[in-house]
Amino acid sequence: MALGHDTADSLGTVAALINTAATGPDALLTPADLDVFLARERFSGSRTHTAAELRAVRHLRAGLRQLWTADEERLAVGVNQLLRNARALPQVVRHDEWGWHLHCTSPAAPLEERLATEAAMALADVLRGGELDRLGTCAAPDCAAVILDLTRNRSKRYCDTGNCGNREHVRSYRSRRAATQKAAR
């Protein structure tokens, strides 16, 4: 099953949100940090720009991290809880450069509710499509980031937050080279 563009975009935003706390210092320490994140992810709707809004998003981030690696049953329970908490009411909308897609809250709903429902709907699509293997964690032993594997052959192993893939490939190459040199002696 191919994921729809809005599902893939929402999952990308969820992964990016989770990874703001996965690979080093927390990237969401201030409301200004949240502004930068939301602009980069092109996330629309109302904002309060308050410390309370930031705390709510950081709380949501922790819950989404747990759902990212959950089994089907735990994911279903978590998705339903997110939708219930936000009092989701799906609507088909079109705005900015986006074609028709689903929003589950009004643009005036609190940011954390809009983020939660976008995540819940995307995770529900993954669950319904039997695509849980598209959600994973970086294979680098020193990285805690999550990955979204949208490759056709489901071969993505490393995150996009740094140079994990390059670092691991260099490490592997050096290991193979050292073994070859040792065997040649």
- φ, ψ of residue 103 in degrees (nearest 5): -120, 145
Least confident of 2-16, 57-71, 167-181: 167-181
Pairwise CA distance, residues 80 & 82, whole Å: 5
pLDDT at 1: 55
pLDDT, tens only, 2-42: 788 889 999 999 999 999 999 889 999 999 999 999 999 99
Mean pLDDT calculated for residue range 65-93:
92
Pairwise CA distance, residues 81 & 78, whole Å: 5
pTM of the model as a whole: 0.84
Number of helices followed by number of strands (H, E) in the chain? 6, 4
Pairwise CA distance, residues 40 & 68, whole Å: 21
SS3 (DSSP) at 96? coil
- DSSP conformation class of 27: S
Mean pLDDT calculated for residue range 153-166:
87
Least confident of 51-65, 101-115, 142-156, 159-173: 159-173
- DSSP conformation class of 90: -
- DSSP conformation class of 133: G
Least confident of 57-71, 76-90, 94-108: 94-108
Mean pLDDT calculated for residue range 146-159:
92
Question: Which of 7, 25, 31 lies closest to 144 in space, CA to CA?
Answer: 25
User: What residue type is assigned to position 170 of the chain?
Assistant: V
pLDDT, tens only, 99-122: 887 788 888 899 999 999 999 999
- C-alpha distances out from residue 14 to 8, 174, 175, 177, Å: 10, 35, 35, 39
Flag whether pLDDT at 94 surpasses 90. no
Residue 7, token pair as written in the block: 């599902």
Pairwise CA distance, residues 61 & 14, whole Å: 8
